[in-house]
Structure 1
Amino acid sequence: MSYTDYQKEIMDELSTTLASIDAESVAALLEEIEKADKVFFVGVGRVFLSLQSIAKRLAHLGIQTYLVGQITEPAITENDLLIVGSGSGETAFPLVIAKKAKQHQARVAHIGANPDSSMKQYTDHFVRIPVRTKLELPNEVPSVQPMTSLFEQSLLVLGDTLALMLIKQKNIDMPSLWEYHANLE
């Protein structure tokens, strides 16, 4: 097989996965983001890298975003939203942070693959990215890629889709977004 064959397999998986995400749950997540004063993000590993990109893109749209653990992270309040990225919903650090967010009456949204994970007890809103897990849940999208690559890719594109939805809803002039882009580079 060639590069073209492999990239086609990956793009087909990604397309199938994104088409399998419940549109109503995405619209509800967008509402949660819009009504929050601040939006915090937590995850680990490659998932956290995807979340960092989503936070940056939403910041370009004028949303106050913070990564849990960043040096300038403010206190979370009942007016805020924590977005947890965790495919399994069992990763220890995001679970602890979600619990703490709930103790401060913040809303918690979980983007993951497992709707019945331990994260469920702290979650106000769930968006399922139905990719292959160790649990072999119904309707999982299989992947030829290693480990959780399909989840991280889908998470990143989901974030860009949320951003585009916001742009269209608010009728934002795309060229004007450059004023929010980093300019110390």
Structure 2
Amino acid sequence: MNYQQTYQSILAECNIALAKVREEDIKQCIELILQADKVFFIGVGRVKLEIEAFAKRLSHLGIYTVIVGQITEPAMTDRDILIVASGSGESLIPVAIAQKAKTIGGKIIHFGSNPHSSLAPITDLMVRIPVQTKLYLQDEVQSEQPMSSLFEQSLLLLGDTIAKMIVEKKEIQLKNLWKFHANLE
């Protein structure tokens, strides 16, 4: 494959994956985010990078976001939510953090592919991105990319899609968002 064919196949996979995400789940996710006092985020590896990008984008919308483990992380309360990003839903640290958040009374949103994961019993909402994971579930969107690349790409694009939907819902003027952008750079 050449460059053109390769990136077109990646974009096609992302399009197929995102088309399979349920719109009702996205709308419910947005409502939970907007109702929360604080939105916490947890993921590991490359997934962590994508979920951190989502957290940053929501902070640009004036939403109080926290990456679990940051030195300035505040206490979670029962008025907060935790967004867990894990394709398999079996990653040890995100599962343990979600269990702890549930004991505090926080709501849990899981962005993942496996609806039968260890997170399922404690999740208030699963936003399923049904793409190929290390579990190779029967109904997963297959990918020609290495490992969980399609999940990570879809997660990034889904985060930006949710942010855009929030902008539209709250009728935010895009030029007004710069006041939330980092300014010590």
TM, length-normalised to structure 2: 0.98
1:110 alignment partner in structure 2: 110
2:57 alignment partner in structure 1: 57
Gaps of 5+ in 2: none
Structure 1: distance between partners of 2:71 and 2:10: 36
Give the conservation status (yes or no) of the 8 Å contact 2:133–2:147. no
1:85 alignment partner in structure 2: 85
* Displacement after TM superposition at 1:121 (Å): 1.8
* Displacement after TM superposition at 1:137 (Å): 2.4
Determine what percentage of the aligned residue pairs are the same residue.
54
Structure 1: distance between partners of 2:80 and 2:151: 25
Structure 2: distance between partners of 1:18 and 1:134: 19
Query: Which aligned segments of 4 or more residues in structure 1 are displaced greater than 6 angstroms?
Result: none
Structure 2 counterpart SS, 1:37: coil
Measured on the aligned residues, the alpha-carbon RMSD in Å equals 0.8
Give the conservation status (yes or no) of the 8 Å contact 2:113–2:131. yes
Structure 1: distance between partners of 2:139 and 2:123: 22
Cα deviation 1:112-149 (Å, max 9, x = unaligned): 00000011122111010010124332431111100000
Cα deviation 1:33-56 (Å, max 9, x = unaligned): 010000000010000000110000
Structure 1: distance between partners of 2:107 and 2:35: 11
Structure 2 counterpart SS, 1:118: coil
Gaps of 5+ in 1: none
Give the conservation status (yes or no) of the 8 Å contact 2:134–2:148. no
Structure 1: distance between partners of 2:136 and 2:45: 22
Structure 1 counterpart SS, 2:10: helix
Equivalent residues, number: 185
1:172 alignment partner in structure 2: 172
Structure 1 counterpart SS, 2:95: helix
1:99 alignment partner in structure 2: 99
Structure 1 letter corresponding to 2:90:
E
Give the conservation status (yes or no) of the 8 Å contact 2:38–2:80. yes
TM, length-normalised to structure 1: 0.98
Structure 2: distance between partners of 1:53 and 1:135: 25
Structure 1: distance between partners of 2:45 and 2:134: 18
